[in-house]
């Protein structure tokens, strides 16, 4: 009986315990929110600070919107600048709620009237902001303690990567006491003066500090006590002391928090330079950003990283889609709609983006189609460049660094679980090639450092061979005119659009309109272009309205000049293009054509009276720098576009359009890469090329190192000081001008691109022996490169090899003698 009685009593006890537990869980007891849960409403007669609104649909636990409450401490003088910058960038992406805490007299700035501002009573903007910080924490708990899992105290000069913050916090249990941030004990001068024990620390305020709900619940009832017992003037030190005393926990000692909550100690120049760094990529918070414009700049960069990650996910999904379609023996168009809400052209993109990851995605059919690998070491070796061994360009360095960074991120995935970390030391060598359809391929031999921090600790150098493929994504086009986005231009009504189209097609832009070049900005109402009523307005009509001032230095070369004039007349004058021509004429000792040249110009001026065609006689020894400077001075309007050209050049209407498009006053100068013909006697066995605009590897080459043909505005030329007129004769003046724009012209972009509409007609280069040593060497190198392509010259050599070898032997014997 006694045994049965004990079993009955135990059963009754269990049932009573379950009933009591269920009752407590169903009640709204404040005990569940932490020990010593403080009041939510102010005491009777006490005026509470204005409450920031909260979406009533927000769930109290584990919700997308109720994860974290971010309180940003700011001051009245920073509300319209720093606070607005925070709210415009990362502030609106917080997985919870954000509010800005300032002094009692603060009001919403005019440039952002919806800024969630809390003006704390009895608080001013004095520094250090100890009272502001503690009362902000009290406000958070009194009003939102039961609505959020985490509470973030932030400065107005910190940037928070919200998606990383959410991922980080969801890996932790907010029911436990946590005090997260970068642990500190003071700088060298303050060490030992902050009243901290040897095992005590604080979370640095700059990069931010995070408290779990449990931690804030423990300190909230004692905030008044903490305010009355301050030992230092450092607000973050006192918050840490308060947490240590009443929550019983220090700031997280983990060394990784230095990288998670990142503080740049240069401060004034922090995050103003290049942003591609490990610290920026790995951090959750970045501090400090003192100037609002750099906050927007950093946000744009972080957003670009997010776009890159999404594009990578997209490529991965396409690969899975193509693979799964192959498993069920169906084509992609059978399993995917041609258009959907998330993809405009899914079927067309799938074969390109869904190709299986491999270094052999492209299969060449002939030896000429084989993609050559470039070799990377301390120098860069490539058979596609006129200089096969050279120092890599800066852009290439950046690309390699990005690829290596991606490799190291992949290698160190789950490094904590594996108990080891691998650091990059050096790129020993590598190979690189570009597949124009699918992307870039890399082969790297890396020197790494293997660090094992679990078990048998060790640090050893290792080498790793990696194979990478950097996939291209689908083509996206963004149309701009004069470097302004056409999407920002207000569309016109249907009637206005018809008038605009008629005017545009009558100004030499019919072909771009019909080919679709200008259709990218169209809307349902019409085209997003402004009417060409004024040169100052932005729109397509402005392009043909740009006056191009041709400046031509000339000395002799009369027959060549006649060819240039014929081309100029056909392309510009007969088409009534808005152009002028200034010929800077020098005498020539070998050719007495001075008067004939002036007569040609006079006849042309009489025939086309609506175009300014003039000649500037200069009775000095020819110097191209001096000629171009005289020509630029002859153009009276400082805002006119100047185009420096040589008499050997021919051009077409498309080149004229590109000159106007690619030259923007105060923003961009255009140094086109022109196509230079090889000797037609070698290529065609003729004195002249039968078709000047035939562009092939055997007919000519791109002058990558030629800077003589230039398009810029006169104001930009004067900004860098113009040409160096001390340079006499041929060459060097163009490189000098290019270097000036690189070194001096701030905010002016140098645009370089191959222009198939600009062709340098072949002529035998004559090098004056009186030139300086540098100029003479440049001249001889240019002459040597004009005979023919290496492949063509190689074929000629192979056809009559014995004859060439005999010639070389005879030359060698003559040299020995």
- Residue 535 pLDDT exceeds 60: no
Residue 20: predicted pLDDT: 60
Domain co-membership, 442 together with 569: no
Domain co-membership, 104 together with 172: yes
Residue 685: predicted pLDDT: 79
- Which residue would you say has higher pLDDT here, 255 or 626? 626
Using left for φ > 0, alpha for ψ between -120 and 50, and beta otherwise, residue 764 falls in beta
Beta bridge partners of residue 432, listed in sequence order: 374, 442
Query: How many independent structural domains does the chain possess?
Result: 4
Residue 394: predicted pLDDT: 83
DSSP 178: -
For the chain, the helix, strand and coil percentages under 3-state DSSP, each to the nearest 5: 40, 20, 40
**Mean pLDDT along residues 572-596:** 90
How far apart are alpha carbons 618 and 584 in whole angstroms?
7
Domain co-membership, 506 together with 401: no
Task: Evaluate whether 591 touches 561 at the Cβ level (below 8 Å).
Answer: no
- Residue 505 pLDDT exceeds 90: no
Q: Is 507 part of a structural domain of the chain?
A: yes
What size, in residues, is the chain? 817
Residue 477: predicted pLDDT: 79
Please report, rounded to a whole number, the percentage of residues in the chain having pLDDT higher than 70: 81
CA angle 228, 186, 237 (to 5 degrees): 25
Q: Please give the structure tokens belonging to residue 509.
A: 């832009």
CA atoms within 13 A on the CB side of 111: 10
Domain co-membership, 441 together with 516: no
- Largest distance between two CA atoms of the chain: 139
Residue 746: predicted pLDDT: 80
Q: Residues near 448 by Cβ (< 8 Å), separated by ≥ 6?
A: 411, 422, 423, 424, 425, 461, 462, 463, 464
**Mean pLDDT along residues 341-369:** 77
Q: What is the pLDDT of residues 57-107, one digit of tens each?
A: 444 434 455 899 999 999 999 999 999 999 999 999 999 999 999 999 999
pLDDT band at 539; cut points 50, 70, 90 = very low
Domain co-membership, 563 together with 586: yes
DSSP letter string, 468-523:
EEEE--------EETTEEGGGSPP--HHHHHHHHHHHHTTT-HHHHHHTTT-TTB-
How far apart are alpha carbons 402 and 406 in whole angstroms?
6
Task: Evaluate whether 711 touches 659 at the Cβ level (below 8 Å).
Answer: yes
Q: What is the CATH number of the domain that holds 566?
A: 3.90.550.10
Prior bond to 288 cis, omega within 30?
yes
Q: Looking at 127-141, 374-388, 508-522, which range is the least confident one?
A: 508-522
Report the 3 state secondary structure along 608-636: CCCCCEEEEECCCCCEHHHHHHHHHHHCC
**Mean pLDDT along residues 671-698:** 86
- Residue 8 pLDDT exceeds 80: no
Q: Is 165 part of a structural domain of the chain?
A: yes
- Which residue would you say has higher pLDDT here, 197 or 817? 197
Can you point out the beta strands (E) in 253-337? Answer: 261-263, 285-287
pTM: 0.65
Q: What is the pLDDT of residues 726-748, one digit of tens each?
A: 887 666 888 899 999 998 878 89
Residue 533: predicted pLDDT: 35
Find the distance separating the first CA and the last CA of the chain, reported in whole Å.
Answer: 132
Residue 3: predicted pLDDT: 58
Q: Residues near 469 by Cβ (< 8 Å), separated by ≥ 6?
A: 357, 358, 359, 361, 438, 439, 440, 441, 442
Residue 221: predicted pLDDT: 94
Q: Is 150 part of a structural domain of the chain?
A: yes
**Mean pLDDT along residues 253-271:** 88
Q: What is the pLDDT of residues 184-227, one digit of tens each?
A: 877 666 666 677 777 788 899 999 999 999 999 999 999 999 99
3 state SS of 655? helix
**Mean pLDDT along residues 311-316:** 88
Residue 11: predicted pLDDT: 62
Domain co-membership, 420 together with 487: no
- Residue 782 pLDDT exceeds 90: no
- Residue 410 pLDDT exceeds 60: yes
**Mean pLDDT along residues 405-420:** 87
DSSP letter string, 383-441:
TTSSSSEEPPPHHHHHHHHHHHHHHHHHHTTTHHHHTEEEEEEEEEEEEEEEETTTEEE
Can you state the angle between helices 733-743 and 624-634, rounded to 10 degrees? 60
Q: Is 640 part of a structural domain of the chain?
A: yes
How far apart are alpha carbons 399 and 3 in whole angstroms?
80
Domain co-membership, 124 together with 177: yes
Q: What is the pLDDT of residues 614-643, one digit of tens each?
A: 999 998 888 899 999 999 999 988 788 999
Q: Please give the structure tokens belonging to residue 584.
A: 């800077």
Residue 109: predicted pLDDT: 94
Residue 53: predicted pLDDT: 61
**Mean pLDDT along residues 424-449:** 93
Q: Looking at 118-122, 300-304, 382-386, 611-615, which range is the least confident one?
A: 382-386
Report the 3 state secondary structure along 10-76: HHHHHHHHHHHHHHHHHCCCHHHHCCCCCCCCCCCCCCCCCCCCCCCCCCCCCCCCCCEEEEEECCH
Return phi, psi of residue 509, to 5°. -110, 20
Please report, rounded to a whole number, the percentage of residues in the chain having pLDDT higher than 90: 44
Residue 415: predicted pLDDT: 83
pLDDT band at 341; cut points 50, 70, 90 = low
Lateral strand order in the sheet of 668-670: 613-617, 579-586, 548-555, 641-644, 710-713, 668-670, 749-751
Residue 46: predicted pLDDT: 46
Domain co-membership, 437 together with 555: no
3 state SS of 109? coil
- Which structural domain range is residue 690 located in? 546-786
Q: Residues near 207 by Cβ (< 8 Å), separated by ≥ 6?
A: 158, 181, 182, 261, 262, 263, 285, 286, 287
Task: Evaluate whether 655 touches 674 at the Cβ level (below 8 Å).
Answer: no
- Which residue would you say has higher pLDDT here, 228 or 151? 151
Q: Looking at 85-99, 268-282, 298-312, 538-552, which range is the least confident one?
A: 538-552
Taking all residues of the chain, what is their mean pLDDT, rounded to a whole number?
Answer: 81
How far apart are alpha carbons 297 and 605 in whole angstroms?
52
- Residue 249 pLDDT exceeds 50: yes
Q: Looking at 230-234, 249-253, 648-652, which range is the least confident one?
A: 230-234
pLDDT band at 487; cut points 50, 70, 90 = low
Domain co-membership, 446 together with 510: no
Q: What is the pLDDT of residues 164-175, one digit of tens each?
A: 999 999 999 989
How many Cβ atoms sit within 10 Å of the Cβ of residue 278? 12
H or E element at residue 97: strand 96-102
- Which residue would you say has higher pLDDT here, 803 or 498? 803
Q: Is 503 part of a structural domain of the chain?
A: yes
- Residue 439 pLDDT exceeds 70: yes
How far apart are alpha carbons 329 and 113 in whole angstroms?
59
3 state SS of 211? strand
How many Cβ atoms sit within 10 Å of the Cβ of residue 138? 21
- Residue 485 pLDDT exceeds 80: no
Residue 796: predicted pLDDT: 81
Q: Residues near 770 by Cβ (< 8 Å), separated by ≥ 6?
A: 729
- Residue 451 pLDDT exceeds 60: yes
Q: Is 359 part of a structural domain of the chain?
A: no
Task: Evaluate whether 180 touches 210 at the Cβ level (below 8 Å).
Answer: yes
Q: Is 698 part of a structural domain of the chain?
A: yes
Domain co-membership, 582 together with 648: yes
Task: Evaluate whether 218 touches 35 at the Cβ level (below 8 Å).
Answer: yes
- Residue 48 pLDDT exceeds 90: no
Q: Is 322 part of a structural domain of the chain?
A: no
How far apart are alpha carbons 288 and 159 in whole angstroms?
8
**β-bridge pairing 420-435 and 439-452:** antiparallel
Domain co-membership, 524 together with 553: no
Residue 105: predicted pLDDT: 93
Domain co-membership, 398 together with 457: yes
């Amino acid at each position: 009986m006694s045994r049965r009685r004990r079993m009955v009593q135990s059963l009754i006890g269990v049932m009573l315990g379950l009933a009591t537990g269920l009752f407590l869980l169903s009640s709204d007891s404040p005990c569940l929110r932490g020990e010593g849960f403080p009041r939510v409403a102010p005491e009777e007669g006490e005026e509470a600070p204005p409450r920031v609104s909260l979406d009533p649909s927000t769930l109290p636990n584990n919700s997308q919107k109720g994860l974290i409450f971010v309180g940003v401490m700011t001051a009245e003088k920073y509300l319209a600048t720093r606070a607005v910058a925070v709210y415009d960038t990362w502030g609106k992406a917080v997985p919870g709620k954000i509010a800005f805490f300032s002094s009692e007299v603060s009001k919403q700035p005019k440039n952002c009237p919806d800024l969630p501002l809390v003006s704390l009573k009895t608080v001013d903007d004095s520094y250090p902001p100890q009272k502001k910080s503690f009362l902000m924490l009290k406000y958070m708990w009194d009003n939102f303690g039961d609505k959020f899992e985490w509470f973030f105290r932030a400065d107005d000069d910190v940037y928070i990567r919200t998606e990383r913050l959410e991922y980080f916090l969801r890996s932790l249990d907010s029911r436990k006491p946590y005090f997260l941030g970068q642990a500190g004990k003071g700088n060298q001068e303050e060490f030992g003066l902050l009243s901290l024990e040897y095992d005590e620390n604080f979370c640095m305020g700059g990069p931010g500090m995070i408290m779990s709900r449990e931690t804030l619940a423990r300190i909230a009832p004692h905030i008044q006590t903490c305010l009355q017992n301050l030992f230092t003037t450092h607000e973050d030190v006192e918050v840490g002391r308060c947490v240590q005393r009443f929550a019983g926990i220090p700031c997280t000692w983990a060394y990784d928090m230095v990288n998670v909550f990142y503080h740049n100690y240069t401060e004034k120049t922090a995050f103003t330079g290049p942003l591609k760094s490990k610290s920026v990529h790995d951090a959750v918070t970045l501090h400090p950003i003192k100037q609002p414009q750099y906050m927007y700049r950093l946000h744009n960069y972080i957003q670009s990283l997010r776009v890159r990650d999404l594009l990578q996910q997209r490529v991965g999904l396409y690969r899975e889609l193509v693979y799964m379609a192959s498993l069920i023996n169906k084509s992609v168009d059978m399993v995917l709609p041609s258009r959907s809400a998330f993809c405009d052209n899914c079927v067309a993109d799938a074969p390109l983006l869904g190709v299986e990851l491999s270094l052999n995605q492209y299969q060449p059919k002939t030896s000429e189609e084989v993609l050559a690998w470039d070799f990377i070491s301390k120098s860069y070796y490539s058979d596609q460049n006129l200089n096969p061994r050279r120092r890599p360009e800066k852009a290439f360095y950046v690309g390699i660094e990005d690829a290596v960074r991606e490799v190291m991120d992949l290698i160190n995935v789950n490094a904590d679980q594996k108990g080891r970390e691998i650091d990059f030391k050096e790129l020993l060598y590598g190979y690189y090639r570009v597949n124009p359809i699918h992307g870039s391929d890399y082969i790297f031999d890396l020197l790494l450092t293997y660090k094992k921090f679990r078990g048998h600790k060790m640090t050893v150098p290792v080498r790793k061979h990696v194979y990478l493929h950097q996939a291209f994504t689908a083509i996206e086009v963004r149309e701009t005119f004069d470097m302004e986005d056409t999407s920002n231009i207000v569309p016109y009504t249907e009637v206005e659009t018809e008038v605009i189209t008629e005017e545009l097609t009558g100004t030499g832009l019919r072909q771009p309109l019909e080919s679709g070049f200008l259709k990218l900005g169209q809307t349902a109402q019409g085209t997003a272009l402004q009417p060409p009523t004024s040169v100052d307005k932005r729109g397509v009509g402005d392009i043909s309205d740009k006056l191009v001032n041709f400046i031509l230095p000339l000395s002799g070369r009369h027959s060549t000049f006649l060819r240039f004039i014929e081309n100029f007349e056909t392309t510009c004058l007969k088409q009534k293009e808005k152009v002028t021509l200034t010929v800077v004429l020098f005498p020539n000792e070998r050719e007495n054509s001075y008067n004939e040249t002036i007569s040609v110009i006079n006849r042309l001026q009489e025939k086309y009276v609506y175009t300014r065609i003039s000649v500037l006689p200069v009775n000095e020894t020819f110097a191209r720098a001096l000629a171009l400077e005289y020509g630029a001075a002859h153009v009276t309007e400082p805002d006119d576009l100047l185009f420096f050209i040589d008499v050997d050049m021919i051009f077409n209407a498309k080149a004229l359009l590109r000159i106007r498009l690619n030259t923007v006053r105060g923003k961009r100068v255009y140094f086109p890469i022109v196509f230079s013909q090889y000797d037609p006697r070698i290529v065609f066995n003729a004195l002249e090329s039968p078709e000047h605009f035939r562009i092939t590897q055997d007919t000519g080459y791109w002058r990558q190192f030629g800077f003589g043909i230039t398009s810029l505005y006169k104001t930009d030329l004067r900004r860098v000081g113009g040409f160096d007129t001390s340079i006499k004769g041929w060459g060097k003046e163009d490189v000098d001008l290019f270097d000036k724009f690189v070194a001096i012209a701030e905010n002016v972009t140098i645009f370089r691109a191959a222009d198939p509409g600009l062709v340098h007609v072949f002529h035998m280069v004559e090098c004056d022996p009186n030139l300086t040593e540098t100029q003479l060497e440049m001249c001889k190198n240019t002459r040597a490169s004009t005979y023919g392509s290496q492949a063509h010259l190689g074929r000629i050599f192979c056809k009559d090899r014995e004859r060439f070898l005999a010639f070389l032997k005879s030359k060698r014997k003559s040299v020995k003698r």
